Structure 1
Amino acid sequence: MATSIISREQGLMLNQSDSSELLQAGITQKALHRIIEQYPHDLSTPELRAYITRSVNSVTPVLSNASKDISYPLDRFSNGNNLINLFEQDSNQTYQETIAALRRSIDLQPRNPAGGLWYFVYPEWSYLDGMYSFAPFYTLYANVYSKGETATASINDVLYQLDLLWQHCYNNATDLLVHGYDYSKTAVWANPITGGSPHVWGRSLGWYMMALADILELSPHLVDVQQKFQKLSAAVVRAADPASGAWWQILDQPGREGNYIESSGSAMFVYALFKGSRMGYLPHYENAAARAYEYIVQNFVVDNGNGTLGYNRTVAVCSLNSTASYAYYIGQPILYNSVLGSGSFVMASLEYELYTAKFEQKHGKD
């Protein structure tokens, strides 16, 4: 799937006016980097390294100005981790300047009166989505470049952003988190008490779940993140569709007419559950993750017949700049070969391979 993504030239910022390409580039970089980490001596490694560099180089002209960076969604930070990785390898000054601009943009980013980061340009609105990009970048930056009180302040800001979303988006009935919140509570969809949006969108929750897993990989000692990860993972496992083991587009409306099993959020949950289990935080969810992964392979992965693989049933962008109604979420286009789905699938596959290798070592291939 990774080489298929490369063959389609996905994950490159070819249109500098399309901010959605920042996230596509970031998740592509992260997926390819994880392959290199897991299989450093594979014959594909040089090709993957070269493509990561090409992807990073495509975004640096866009992200090198901190003042301009805040006009983009928090998704921009998805490119930060591989900017740091590449800079640590070759001390490229352009990378250093872009990393510095991204870091400075955190200080410039608009915040609501409680200190919550705006996800994009919509005043007072915070989304789960942005945490996958923001939190692992800021955590890695603090670990590599900050010391003492500065590092502590950075990590505390990460924890605070996660916590604000939890406070405003948590649903007591399901233990799941809705898509986002409006601090001003003036949006047409805002809960009058919490400001939260009305529905649990699978992919937004998937971004948040992957963020928790990736933060714990970088900073395993963060007890608050561990607790959120464990509680949310248990709720996600409970929310899986009993028939398929995978997850609905709208998790709080299982089986409702028009709802469907969605491929990007499902892959994200598989990744997070497997990774959490591997790291020792979620010891009981491997079977649930494996069942969902096998459903994904059977139903969403497509042999294109030309040596490449496709990935189907990934919903297009769902924004809170909408009615945020059930009809809105189920009415958004379904895409073929969206890299938000296929990139998540690559990362889920890597965790599945670690799981099966461990299982075979313990039980034998039979």
Structure 2
Amino acid sequence: MIKPLKITFLSLLSITVFSCKSGEEKKEAQEKSKQESKQEAYTIPKNLKWSERMALSEMERFPEAWQLDFHTKPKWSYTQGLVLKGFEELYKKTGKETYYDYIKAFGDTMVNARGEILTYDMQKYNIDMINPGRVLLYLYEKTGEERYRTAIETLRQQLDKHPRTSGGGFWHKKIYPSQMWLDGLYMGQPFYAEYTRTFDKGEAAKKAFDDIALQFQQIQQHSRDEKTGLLYHGWDESRKQQWADKKTGTSPHFWSRALGWYAMALVDVLDDFPEDHPASKDLIRYLNQLAVALADFQDKDSGLWYQVTDQGDREGNYLEASGSCMFIYSLAKGVRKGYLPQSYMDVAKKGYQGVLDHLIEVEDNGVVNLTQVCAVAGLGGNPYRDGTYEYYVNEKIRSNDPKGTGPFILASLELDQ
């Protein structure tokens, strides 16, 4: 009786092992099938235009728009405003609801029923925080929801109270006293102009547009280099910063992304700036002056622009994606709107082809990656950023930073590629 029992036990053990193995294999097969289905679901058709291919890639990387810039929890940030401006224009062009839904979900998350903006703190007086207000202007126009109007008014109040230089220029942030950065022109002025066109009338509108023009006049006066036609990244009225020239107050170098912010600020503000305003011609003149300089410093071989704009292939310098995409967008839009001569479209197209040839990588499932984006650069702060050549070329470089992907979408729409 013992022997049959032993056989039965071994048989049962064998069946159990086989069953476990079979279950594991089944589980693995299901998981593999699920991954393959996911891969198939996320396949981005290669016959779409580059604007859509990049937008869909961003949606795969960041399923929620608040995640843009690699955030792990909701945060009110200028990068979201930048990328979602691209989504807004893409939706207007294609009519595909998926792009609008992505924008609307951001509004639903970041603005509560009382119109309060999640993580926003006016007392910091950070001009960067004004930029995503452009998303709210669009959502208010589309939905009429009062919570958006309330949030919009909060941001507009910041501009009324924001600290300024003696000449009337907005400080970049409260923690950066007496300083104007080129970045700040994009962060504040397009929202300011669109708000004014939408809500202000009569003397209030005139006063606001005068103030918007003043911001550009101040940065032209204090940051523009007559020799190159380029503008320095920052200007410190107090001359107290280590990075500030004791005579001029300017930072020591030209940074392509800062110049890109400025170029985009000009072409976007002009969308809402009255043509009959005396300063309209000044803004167009500033754009033309900058366009001349950008064409001069475009790399002749690749069509791209370097991280430190005027230093060419000096050791450590590199062809940088965000500044290049910003320039391409600004030049192409400037031509389309009639602000720039037609010849600058050739400059834009050459630059765009350079991005496609040198900075774009496409995965097997069609996901598009933009490489060689400077992750961040600034002036001052802690640890201290001294604005030297070595500082700019040694900041972190990463792929798919929204400061590059957003302008790439906008540039692609302009060139309709």
**Residue of structure 2 equivalent to 1:106:** 159
- Is 1:280 the counterpart of 2:338 in the alignment? yes
**1:194 Cα deviation after fit:** 2.1
Distance 2:120 2:358 in 1: 44
Using the TM superposition, give the Cα deviation of residue 228 of structure 1 relative to its aligned residue in structure 2, in angstroms.
Answer: 0.5
TM-score (norm 2): 0.80
Matches within 5 A, 1:183-222: 183-219=237-273, 221=275, 222=280
2:388 to 309, 313, 325: 325
Unaligned runs of 5+ in 1: 357-366
Verify the 8 A CA contact 1:249 1:259 in the aligned structure 2: yes
Q: CA deviation at 1:255?
A: 1.8
State the identity as a percent. Answer: 34
Deviation of 1:65 (Å): 9.1
| Aligned 8 A contact 2:78 2:129 in 1 | yes
Q: Secondary structure at the match of 1:116?
A: coil
1:91-130 alignment, distance < 5 Å: 91-120=144-173, 121-130=175-184
Which residue in 2 is equivalent to 1:359?
none
Report what 1:227 is aligned to.
Answer: 285
- The offset of 1:67, in angstroms, is 9.0
Whole-angstrom distance in 2 between the partners of 1:262 and 1:247? 6
The one-letter code matched in structure 2 to 1:160 is L
3-state DSSP class of the match of 2:369? strand
TM-score computed with the length of structure 1 as normaliser: 0.90
- Distance (Å, rounded) in 2 between the aligned partners of 1:270 and 1:303: 21
- Whether the 8 Å contact between 2:197 and 2:205 is mirrored in structure 1 is yes
Unpaired runs of 5+ residues, structure 2, are 1-53
Query: Following the alignment from structure 1 to structure 2, what is the Cα–Cα distance between the partners of residues 72 and 341?
Result: 25
Structure-1 residue corresponding to 2:326: 268
SS in 2 for 1:119: coil
- Hey, what does 1:362 align to over in structure 2? none
- The one-letter code matched in structure 1 to 2:288 is Q
CA contact under 8 A between 1:64 and 1:102: conserved in structure 2? no
- Cα 1:16–1:69 change in 2 (3 A) is farther
Q: Offset at 1:75? A: 1.8
State whether residues 87 and 99 of structure 2, in contact with CA within 8 Å, keep that contact through their aligned partners in structure 1: yes
1:313 alignment partner, one of 369, 372, 375: 372
SS in 2 for 1:155: helix
Q: Deviations over 1:128-181 (max 9, x none)?
A: 102112111000000010011111111111111111111111111100101011
The reply on whether 1:48 has 2:102 as its aligned counterpart is: no
Distance 2:88 2:235 in 1: 32
Counterpart residue identity of residue 32, structure 1: F
Q: 2: CA distance between counterparts of 1:313 and 1:32?
A: 22
- In the TM superposition, 1:1-366 aligns within 5 A as 1-9=54-62, 11-12=65-66, 22-40=77-95, 45-60=96-111, 64=117, 68-71=121-124, 73-120=126-173, 121-219=175-273, 221=275, 222-283=280-341, 284-321=343-380, 322-353=385-416
The answer to whether the 8 A contact 1:178-1:198 is kept is yes
How far apart are residue 86 of structure 1 and its match? 1.1
Q: Contact 2:307 / 2:317 at 8 angstroms: preserved in 1?
A: yes
Q: Which amino acid aligns with 2:408?
A: F
Q: Distance in 1 between matches of 2:355 and 2:263?
A: 18
Cα deviations by residue, 1:22-42 (Å, 9 ceiling, x for unpaired):
1121112101011122233xx
C-alpha RMSD of matched pairs (Å): 2.0
Asked if 1 retains the 8 angstrom alpha-carbon contact of 2:232 and 2:255, the reply is yes
* Distance in 2 of aligned mates of 1:276 and 1:108: 32
Q: Give the partner amino acid of 1:47.
A: T
Find the counterpart in structure 1 of residue 41 from structure 2.
none
Q: In the comparison of the two structures, how many residue pairs are matched?
A: 348
Q: Which has the higher contact order (CA 8 A, sep 6+)?
A: 2
C-alpha separation in 2, matches of 1:117 and 1:263: 28
Measure the CA separation in 1 of the matches of 2:274 and 2:202. 18
Please give the alpha-carbon distance, in whole angstroms, between the structure 2 residues aligned to 1:16 and 1:208.
29
Q: The residue matched to 1:126 in structure 2 has which SS?
A: strand
Structure 1 Cα separation of the partners of residues 172 and 110 of structure 2: 19
Contact 1:67–1:105 (Cα < 8 Å) also in 2: no
One-letter amino acid matched to 1:132? Y
Q: CA deviation at 1:256?
A: 1.1
| Secondary structure of residue in 2 paired with 1:302 | strand
CA distance in 2, matches of 1:323, 1:35: 38
TM-aligned CA distance change 1:65 to 1:304, over 3 Å: closer
